[in-house]
Structure 1
Amino acid sequence: MIIYEGKELFLHHHEGNTDYIIISFLGAHETNIAKETFFLKPIVEKYNISCLGITPKVDNYYLHSDMHEIISLCNDITKNYKKIILIGQSVAGYAVIKYSKQLNADVVLALAPRATLDQEICTVTDETVKIASALTPEQVKETTIKKDDLQGEIFIVYDPLSRSHWLDKEHIGLLKEQIPHVNFIVTYFTEHLIIFHLLGSQVFKSIIDSLVSGNKQNIVQTINYVRRHHITNIESKVLLLTEKYPYLIYKMLTSQSMSKVRNNHRLFNNNTLILKLCFCLTNKGYQQESSQLLQSIFISKTGNLENFFKPNQQLRCLNPYPYLISFHGNFLVYNYNTNKVETAINLDEKPNCAPIQLYNQNGRIKLVCIHHGYLFELEYYDNMSFNLTSLTNDPIPNQIKLTFSGYMIFIHTSDKKHYIGVNANGSIHYATKPQGWESFTAIPAIYSSENTKQHSLSFNVNNHNITISIQ
């Protein structure tokens, strides 16, 4: 319930049954929900934790006269509790440190906090400059967090590799100068929005329990454990490392431990990510792993994630013709209603489209689609629309051509004036001088040594023998 409404701030109160109380601050850019909710509300309500939630109507770093009234109200309530814990992210992280002494804090958890509004001593955002412009020069200088502002055990969590536009390096650097005695906890791969790597009522409750215990080692270990095993952290590593280390990512995803990770469906159901990994595995020479991974996409349609990555599963319903997968993680498909080439990340979501696949006809590689159980060859017109024609032994004038470079395939018209490419957003475009990111690779959903021996295409590129399994 709201127990105070000022010109710029709300104070919410949830009276739980704990002998400790949390004071939470809502982060920036959430003013639209300031009246309805507060930071950590779902968790404190689920576990009936006593909490005071401070929320802003206007983003101003909580630098408003309303804070005087709110601090007084908070202190009047919190005096009846054994422990007072302050928690906030980013701008709210600034507030929990800055007001820790005035709020009589015992423990403070600040996630990627800001350190100041003073652009003369630290880089700040344009929005922060606007906020600071409403203050006097003396007030701006006073916004910098100093040792005298602090009370309680302070824990500051940050990612030292966070991208530069978040400004974490500058602000954490200033905090280390101003308050070097506090506890700094490094969390790699979290970027600035660390809270997304700690969310989940059960896991965040474990962090709250560690803060209540007051044991420094336990707090650090709990935060690091939650972060390392959180699906958001695993997802960020996958996105970052897939292109460079696809086999390592493949082994991680197919491991037994990954099957036990909470919310792992966020990875397993991310077809773009899986298709991108398929592309990267093939280009590194891991064709069998790529094929099994592609097959897993079809297996997942059963909803049985427990068997998502069982190796060497053979789905006999799948045809052996390799699918064309783009660099960015898309199937290449043909829309037989519009006669256009499109992309898809989920074939079921485009019922009017058929996947474009490779077919080896007497040593000639053709692009084909299967429609009503029949094979049709893809041809094109001058306006870059396409059509399906009956598959014959004779070459057709408008046949789409392929150029191989290692495991990469470039698809183009016979005169090489138009190369089919796929943008990062999944849209088709046409290039005259394609780059590597405009390439495709061929991946069969059925892979076996027998299939490889009987139906394969072998060629030599840069003194390396390349073999692609093609029916």
Structure 2
Amino acid sequence: MDKQIIFEDDHIRAIYLPGNSNTLVLSFGDLITRAKGLSINAEKSLMKYDYAVVGIMPKQKSWFPAASMAGLLEQLQPILKQFKNIVGYGGSMGGYAAIKYAEPLQMNRVVAMVPQYSIDPTEVDDKRYTDFYDAELNAEMRIQAQDIVADCEYIIVYDPYFENDKEHYLKIKPLIPQLHTLHLPYTGHDAIAVLANSALLHDFIERPYDQTYFYKQIREVKKNSKFYYRSVIAHLLGTHNEALGKILKGIDIQLDSTFFDASLKQTITRILLTNKRVDEQDLQKLGIQVNLAFEDKNQLKDYYGNILVFNVITQKLESYDQQVIDVNGKYIIPLHVENSGLAQVEIKKQTYLICMNDRRVIKLFKQDDALSLDMNPIVIRKCTDFYVLSYKDLYMSCDVQGQVTFDDESLNEFCHFKIS
């Protein structure tokens, strides 16, 4: 039998997908998987096991208002009566709804990934979603003790190190005496993407709870999840840089060039360059292609004594300690400086102008190439005791981490660069 819409109002759309299972899955969408045609949250995974499914999909960012859910319940009763085993599944906003409406929807098990307790700004400090709160629509929306079903099994998956989600978890936990908790460290709010796996979802729905078994299955899924590696890397940056550098060099992976965005790629390569010498294989494993360069002779030191370089991996200006440059000189090249003029760098014995646009995107141009209309060269000006670099009317400075910004409208000591 084909899917059919069994209820719809301004806020939710419910789609019924008949199956051949003895279990009915109530699959709640979230902010990302909102109502679109007859699509159902986690549809492919659920169809693989021929589950009967009701997809309860949000049309608005309104957190499944009670009035809408009451309207759905009236239409859903004939379907609910056909099943003794009813499982609610969802993440974030959908995880909230699975817990909140377990009692009227007669659930035996709830699987909630990173759920909210409430989005009422008077009830939570987390401000990610409070702009969506409607005092009339979402009145008394918080999960309360009377929402909890004594003979229903509850499983929550969340990252205990992510403070925003931890706040919600700590408010929900005292309300559910029989709660099972599975930790997914250093993944932030990305648990749904990290654990997107048909077999694991099937286990969450059907298998009796066994913490050891579930953690084993989660580990297997994480090994093959690019979302997991990306999320862990993003959350460890800045706090465990040295350890992360060793992990990145040690893992046996091959990523494509789009796996990391430009900002994360820049930070990762900085860690590799700073903490341990990189080679071609390390960079290729991370999906990073490099044009090798030759060293330049003249060097500029920033306020902190680090050398100003052009990073051929990230295509950005940065500053590094001289020792890092000494062992990674193929990838981070001190700028060529003589007198006042245009910033330039030499790669494979070819001199390039360093240019930038208003979006802070840096590109290299050969000296005889025409610049695109949005690009302007970075200018080096020699003063009595120091050099300054500027883009249009903004001066460049480096912070203690070696990150470069063009934000200063007037000169200060952080904008001064001296010949080493």
Do they superpose with TM above 0.5? yes
Percent of aligned pairs with the same amino acid: 19
What is the Cα deviation at residue 109 of structure 1? Answer: 0.5
Distance 1:44 1:38 in 2: 9
Give the one of 27, 30, 41 matched to 1:27: 30
Report the equivalent of 1:231.
226
SS in 1 for 2:346: strand
**CA 242–133 in structure 1, closer or farther in 2 if over 3 Å, else same:** closer
Give the one of 346, 357, 368 matched to 1:369: 346
CA-based RMSD of the aligned residues comes to 4.5
**CA 34–154 in structure 1, closer or farther in 2 if over 3 Å, else same:** same
Report the equivalent of 1:183.
180
Q: CA offsets, 1:161-180, max 9 Å, x none?
A: 2244xxx2332222122224
Distance 1:379 1:193 in 2: 37
Q: Does 1:90 align with 2:92?
A: yes
What is the Cα deviation at residue 52 of structure 1? Answer: 0.8
User: What does residue range 125-274 of structure 1 map to in structure 2 within 5 Å?
Assistant: 125=127, 128=130, 131-134=133-136, 140-141=139-140, 143-150=142-149, 151-164=151-164, 168-199=165-196, 203-217=197-211, 218-223=213-218, 225-227=220-222, 230-243=225-238, 245-246=240-241, 248-255=243-250, 257-258=252-253, 264-265=255-256, 273-274=264-265
- Per the normalisation by structure 1, the TM-score is 0.60
Return 5+ residue gaps in structure 1 as ranges: 302-314, 333-354, 381-385, 391-399, 401-410, 422-427, 441-471
Q: CA offsets, 1:423-449, max 9 Å, x none?
A: xxxxx9953653235568xxxxxxxxx
Distance 1:6 1:298 in 2: 46
Report the equivalent of 2:412.
none
What is the Cα deviation at residue 7 of structure 1? Answer: 2.2
What is the Cα deviation at residue 23 of structure 1? Answer: 0.7
Distance 1:96 1:299 in 2: 39
What is the Cα deviation at residue 88 of structure 1? Answer: 1.1
SS in 2 for 1:109: strand
CA contact (8 A) 2:91 2:113 kept: yes
Q: CA offsets, 1:75-101, max 9 Å, x none?
A: 422443453211011222121112112
CA contact (8 A) 2:6 2:76 kept: no
Distance 2:266 2:141 in 1: 52
Give the one of 380, 384, 388 matched to 1:418: 388
Distance 2:220 2:286 in 1: 33
Q: How many residues align?
A: 353
User: What does residue range 299-310 of structure 1 map to in structure 2 within 5 Å?
Assistant: none
Question: What amino acid maps onto 2:315 in structure 1?
Answer: N
What is the Cα deviation at residue 210 of structure 1? Answer: 4.0
Distance 2:132 2:396 in 1: 47
Q: CA offsets, 1:288-320, max 9 Å, x none?
A: 32x43676389966xxxxxxxxxxxxx9x9565
**CA 378–114 in structure 1, closer or farther in 2 if over 3 Å, else same:** closer
Report the equivalent of 2:270.
279
Report the equivalent of 2:301.
none
What is the Cα deviation at residue 48 of structure 1? Answer: 3.3
Q: CA offsets, 1:12-38, max 9 Å, x none?
A: 11223333221111113655x343422
Report the equivalent of 1:110.
112
SS in 2 for 1:39: coil
Q: Does 1:43 align with 2:45?
A: yes
What is the Cα deviation at residue 45 of structure 1? Answer: 3.3
CA contact (8 A) 1:90 1:112 kept: yes
Distance 2:221 2:235 in 1: 20
What is the Cα deviation at residue 72 of structure 1? Answer: 4.1
**CA 55–318 in structure 1, closer or farther in 2 if over 3 Å, else same:** closer
SS in 2 for 1:12: strand
Distance 1:281 1:51 in 2: 47
SS in 2 for 1:61: coil
What is the Cα deviation at residue 188 of structure 1? Answer: 1.5
CA contact (8 A) 2:21 2:51 kept: yes
Report the equivalent of 2:418.
none
Question: What amino acid maps onto 1:431 in structure 2?
Answer: Y
**CA 37–389 in structure 1, closer or farther in 2 if over 3 Å, else same:** closer
Question: What amino acid maps onto 2:110 in structure 1?
Answer: V
Report the equivalent of 2:315.
330
Identify the structure with the greater helix proportion: 1
Question: What amino acid maps onto 1:236 in structure 2?
Answer: S
Report the equivalent of 1:292.
280
Specify the structure having the higher radius of gyration (Cα): 1
User: What does residue range 297-446 of structure 1 map to in structure 2 within 5 Å?
Assistant: 320-321=294-295, 324-326=309-311, 329-331=314-316, 368-369=345-346, 375-376=350-351, 412-415=380-383, 416-419=386-389, 431=395, 433-437=397-401
